[in-house]
Copies of this chain bind each other. A is one copy, B any other.
Amino acid sequence: MDNHAGNPRCIEVCFSPRLFSEIQVKDNFIVVLVDILRATTSICAAFNNGVKNIIPVSTLEEAKAMKDQGYLVASEQDGRKLDFADFGNSAFNFSREAIGDKTLVYCTTNGTRALEIARKAEKIAMGAFINLSALVDWLIQQDKNVVILCSGWKNKFCLEDTLFAGALTDRLLESRRFTTQCDSAAAALDLWQLARPDILGYIEKAAHRHRLRKLNLDDVIPYSFKLDQTKVVPVFEGKEIVDVTQ
């Protein structure tokens, strides 16, 4: 039974952390952070494999200090694992054996910077194709305005995060609990409709994919675009990321 009586909530899409200061929703909103290749996909994969919690840090110095304190640390720069770290940031690093029931410290050049920027939101949820439906269900329950924040590539617009923004907007509009007047959301929706029949074919265009391929790191790409591989919804509420569906 639909017992939702209020007005629909708003969706806004931000194509880069640099545009976050321009969002129009004022307070009481949830940010969905998106970094498909890689941070948010990897974080969802880690929770799917039983990680207890994830502490995001935004500098290498913090990551090193946490390593010295005995934490497991995932850290990369420009897509490569750093020497001192236990893991890079590919979703495939986070097996149940390696991280099950443990705390992971996570530092990336891209995703955690966006997390810093989004701190004025009430909650920050991690969005990825692999947890799309679980995220949609959770957002509908929360009944708040939603800002979809694409990490982009070094603050530039990127296609893979935009496609996810389109897919999520599509599902939220379908629920009739949400509405949007945002041009970025309209563009993301159209690009998602175009890409949907053959996402991997479409994403061939993405500059970031070519960068990963140069680094021989593109093994994780097909997984990153598979819908609904997990039911986790990792959420950051000030200190650490936990799976709110547990």
A55 adjacent to chain B (CB < 8 Å): no
Q: How many copies does the complex hold?
A: 2
Q: Identify A186's interface contact among B154, B155, B205, CB under 8 A.
A: B205
Q: What is A's interface to B at a CB cutoff of 8 Å?
A: 15-16, 18-19, 21-22, 153-159, 162, 181-184, 186-187, 190-191, 194, 205-208, 210
Residues in B neighbouring A205, C-beta threshold 8 A: 183, 186
Q: How far is the CB of A87 from chain B (nearest CB, A)?
A: 27
Residues in B neighbouring A156, C-beta threshold 8 A: 19, 22, 183-184
Given A182-B207, A187-B157, the answer on whether A19 and B18 have CB atoms closer than 8 Å is: yes
A187 touches B183 (CB 8 A): no
A162 touches B181 (CB 8 A): no
Q: Identify A183's interface contact among B183, B194, B206, CB under 8 A.
A: B206
In angstroms, Cα B210 to Cα A19, docked, is 21
A159 touches B181 (CB 8 A): no
Residues in B neighbouring A157, C-beta threshold 8 A: 15, 19, 183-184, 187
In angstroms, Cα B156 to Cα A18, docked, is 10
In angstroms, Cα B155 to Cα A194, docked, is 26
B182 touches A162 (CB 8 A): no
In angstroms, Cα B183 to Cα A205, docked, is 7
